[in-house]
Amino acid sequence: MKMTRICKLAFMIMAVSGLCLGGCANSKQARSVDIGNAGILGDYSMLGEGNEDEAIRIYKNAHANWPGYLKIIIDPVIFQTPENASEKYVADLKKIATEFFNRLHEQLGQDYQLVTEPGPGTIRLQTALFNAKEKSVGRTVLSSVVPIGVGISVLKDAATGKPTAVGEISIEAKITDTRNGELLAAGIDRRVGQKYSSGTFDSWAEANEATDYWAKRVRFMLCKGRGGAGCIAP
């Protein structure tokens, strides 16, 4: 009888997981992020805590004239690799960085003229990815369908903001004026995996969704800075 109840519970959890394969988000914002890890911001002391709809740590230049910028330079995405990283890890991260670069072009190209040379009315976006960790696919599936595993995952999520066996990735980003190098905005953010997601069998699903989210978030932030109408939140 007890075994029957456990089996029914496991079946229900599997059913919920199956529903999420079609539409649950793969990533969510974490509760904390390492400061100064990627090193592209230089001075991290100016960063303050972001609001719920912003990066975890953020800086906004109160004097930035966002409506005055019509062009943007998007630098190639930098990515940090740990020591003794495997060739596969480096290749995977390079692919993620390249796809992020393309997503930034796709999003920001809708509002700005994409250029490669500094000039009047031109901003530069620099980004760096770090602390990228793959999802442990087999372990994630196991802890998603076995009641005991679910309990452990829920407890860890409540304590740390990150469920067991899921992936994560962090970003540093800054926007400067190309004429004088003035810092206009900067931020550090981190996104971690959800226990039930549409990318259950993709070890880099969280990283890919996070970069897609960040590309849309940058566009949204710039749209709000310009006072644009119909800014689309990610």
Q: Are 167 and 135 in contact (CB under 8 A)?
A: yes
| Range with lowest mean pLDDT among 21-30, 111-120, 167-176 | 21-30
Q: Are 126 and 40 in contact (CB under 8 A)?
A: yes
Mean pLDDT of 40-57: 89
Mean pLDDT of 14-40: 52
Beta strand pairing call for 71-74 and 168-177: unpaired
| Range with lowest mean pLDDT among 35-44, 46-55, 108-117, 172-181 | 35-44
Q: CA 55, CA 188: separation in Å to the nearest integer?
A: 6
- Sole residue written with tokens 């109840």: 5
Mean pLDDT of 25-48: 69
Q: Is the pLDDT of residue 165 over 80?
A: no
Q: How many CB atoms lie within 10 A of CB 79?
A: 21
Position 159 confidence tier, pLDDT thresholds 50, 70, 90: very low
Average per-residue pLDDT in the chain?
A: 78
Q: What percent of the chain has pLDDT over 90?
A: 49
pLDDT of residue 53: 82
Q: CA 71, CA 119: separation in Å to the nearest integer?
A: 9
Q: Is the pLDDT of residue 58 over 70?
A: yes
Position 85 confidence tier, pLDDT thresholds 50, 70, 90: confident
Identify any residues that bridge with 176 across adjacent strands, giving them in sequence order. Answer: 124, 183
Q: Does 109 or 138 have the greater pLDDT score?
A: 109
Q: Is the pLDDT of residue 141 over 60?
A: no
